[in-house]
């Protein structure tokens, strides 16, 4: 987004004790991605020369979870404040770069906001991101002179009564030249209520050195809110999901209730799609145009073709659903399920690692696993492919236009021929020939003199 030579420093060393968790705070997720993952993703959009992550508590967990990210890792062995944390990264920072300081627990910061901040800093000033809050409790306050120029930042615990009344707060996010930053960091002391080296103290140093301090502001307060508790995590989750819903609606998607949609990954979606309430989309999901997804459906790492109608309570996991198929209600498509199109997969049907040919129907109370099914097949209610012998999986092949009666069991490996019909209640352990009726069931017997037992008095 910007051609300015710059580096990003992300502070992610905090313990997050209020999270009450064994997991490092920055690994808690919003929208299916870790807090730190969101910040790294946003930083990447600015095309920095390098991104440095300063880690501390749970460092190995953090590095392992984000091992695929192209970042430099620096450990802060002792948590002595934000100024100390940034100083750990300075040996890796080029003097001629603008340094953008971000926080691993502030996940919704927007790249456009940051690009504006970096642009201001490139003019030679110290650029800081501030926001006005109705309740500024806990945040450092922006102290300005009578002319409105920023003079310094005072932390909550060090502020006077008059300073506590200030509503403009410091987000901690700033951009400045590396050369100046390094010089100011060397002058920091910890003579404050927390006994820490505050990064915010460099604002007063900049004023003393005659460097202009300018403020930029985010479009939304949610951009700069951090996560220190489960409650704050939940608040930003809903804020993030609202953003996703607004973006989808702007693309021509109908979201029945924007407060009851969860997107936990990446989504490619066409026009005139309707997402009913409590739909959850995880991983990478592709949904083509004119699709209806009913209430309480979960779709994970899957492709949904054009014109699909998915009724309530379906789970689709690593599967492909061809165009104009009718799914559900209460259907489950497991990994490897591939529907070629115009299919009906009905209530309480499970399909796993199987190809379902064009126009084939599996409507009721059925399990289809490890199966290659042709086109135009009709599977009767209660049909089971017995694909597991206790040690190995075997495949079932069902030819075009075949039909199974209710309560049939197909014992793999087995082939049902083209146009074959399986009689209801059959257990088929041998191949059934093309175009024939195959029945495998015990002869029906009625015992004339049998009497039902009676309960003893």
- Active-site amino acid positions: 364
Q: How crowded is residue 201: how many other Cβ atoms within 10 Å of its Cβ?
A: 22
Residue 146, token pair as written in the block: 């009578």
Beta strands in 338-381, from DSSP E residues, in sequence order: 338-339, 344-352, 355-356, 361-369, 371-373, 378-379
C-alpha torsion 256→257→260→262, nearest 10: 60
C-alpha 156/C-alpha 140 separation (Å) is: 5
Q: Residue 169 and residue 224: Cα distance in Å, rounded? A: 10
Tell me how far apart the alpha carbons of residues 30 and 262 are, in angstroms, rounded to a whole number. Answer: 10
How many helices (H) and strands (E) would you count in the chain?
A: 8, 37
Query: 236 by DSSP, 3-state: which?
Result: helix
Task: List Cβ neighbours of 240 (8 Å cut-off, separation of 6 or more).
Answer: 30, 31, 107, 108
Place of tokens 């997720």: 29
DSSP 401: T
* Cis peptide preceding 183, ω within 30 of 0: no
Q: What are phi and psi of 57, to 5 degrees?
A: -60, 130
Q: Which of these, 77, 82, 78, 55, lies nearest to 66 by C-alpha position?
A: 55
Distances in whole angstroms, Cα of residue 231 to Cα of each of 19, 162, 236, 311: 9, 30, 9, 33
- In terms of DSSP bridges, do strands 126-132 and 168-177 run parallel, antiparallel, or are they unpaired? antiparallel
| C-alpha to C-alpha distance for 42 and 37, rounded to whole angstroms | 9
**Placement of tokens 């993952």 in the chain:** 37
Residue 107: is it exposed, middle or buried by C-beta count within 10 angstroms (0-12/13-18/19+)? Answer: buried
Rounded to whole angstroms, the Cα distance separating 121 from 390 reads: 67
Distance of alpha carbon 127 from alpha carbon 425, whole angstroms: 76
Contact 286, 304 (CB under 8 A): yes
DSSP 154-221: E-GGG--HHHHT--EEEEEEEEEEHHHHHHHHHT----STT----GGGHHHHHHHTT--EEEE--SSG
């Amino acid at each position: 987004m910007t051609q300015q030579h710059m580096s990003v420093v992300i502070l992610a060393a905090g313990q997050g004790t209020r999270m009450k968790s064994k997991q490092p705070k920055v690994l808690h997720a919003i929208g299916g991605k870790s807090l730190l993952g969101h910040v790294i993703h946003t930083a990447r959009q600015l095309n920095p020369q390098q991104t440095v992550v300063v880690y501390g508590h749970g460092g190995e967990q953090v590095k392992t979870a984000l091992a695929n990210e192209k970042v430099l890792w620096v450990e802060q062995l002792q948590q002595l404040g934000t100024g100390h944390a940034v100083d750990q990264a300075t040996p890796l920072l080029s003097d001629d770069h603008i340094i953008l300081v971000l926080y691993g627990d502030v996940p919704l910061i927007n790249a456009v906001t940051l690009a504006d901040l970096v642009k201001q800093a490139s003019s030679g000033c110290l650029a800081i991101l501030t926001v006005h809050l109705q309740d500024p409790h806990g945040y450092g306050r922006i102290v300005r002179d009578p002319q409105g120029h920023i003079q310094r930042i005072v932390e909550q615990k060090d502020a006077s009564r008059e300073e506590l009344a200030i509503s403009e707060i410091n987000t901690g996010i700033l951009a400045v030249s590396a050369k100046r930053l390094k010089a100011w960091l060397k002058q920091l002391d910890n003579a404050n209520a927390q006994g820490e080296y505050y990064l915010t103290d460099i604002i007063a140093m900049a004023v003393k050195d005659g460097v202009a301090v300018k403020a930029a502001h985010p479009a939304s307060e949610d951009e700069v809110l951090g996560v220190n508790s489960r409650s704050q995590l939940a608040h930003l989750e809903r804020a993030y999901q609202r953003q996703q819903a607004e973006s989808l609606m702007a693309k021509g998607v109908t979201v029945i209730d924007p407060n009851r949609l969860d997107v936990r990954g990446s989504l490619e979606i066409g026009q005139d799609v309707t997402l009913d309430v409590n739909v959850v989309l995880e991983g990478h999901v592709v949904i083509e145009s004119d699709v209806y997804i009913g209430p309480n459906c979960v779709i994970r790492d899957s492709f949904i073709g054009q014109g699909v109608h998915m009724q309530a309570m379906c789970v689709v996991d690593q599967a492909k659903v061809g165009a104009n198929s009718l799914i559900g209600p209460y259907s489950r498509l497991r990994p490897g399920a591939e529907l070629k199109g115009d299919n009906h997969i009905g209530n309480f049907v499970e399909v796993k690692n199987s190809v379902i040919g064009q126009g084939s129907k599996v409507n009721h109370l059925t399990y289809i696993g490890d199966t290659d099914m042709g086109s135009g097949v009709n599977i009767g209610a209660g049909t089971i492919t017995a694909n597991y012998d206790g040690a190995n999986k075997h495949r079932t092949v069902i030819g075009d236009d075949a039909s199974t009666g209710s309560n049939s069991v197909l014992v793999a490996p087995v082939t049902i021929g083209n146009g074959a019909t399986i009689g209801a209640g059959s257990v088929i352990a041998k191949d059934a020939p093309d175009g024939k009726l195959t029945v495998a069931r015990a002869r029906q017997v009625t015992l004339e003199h049998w009497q039902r037992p009676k309960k003893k008095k």
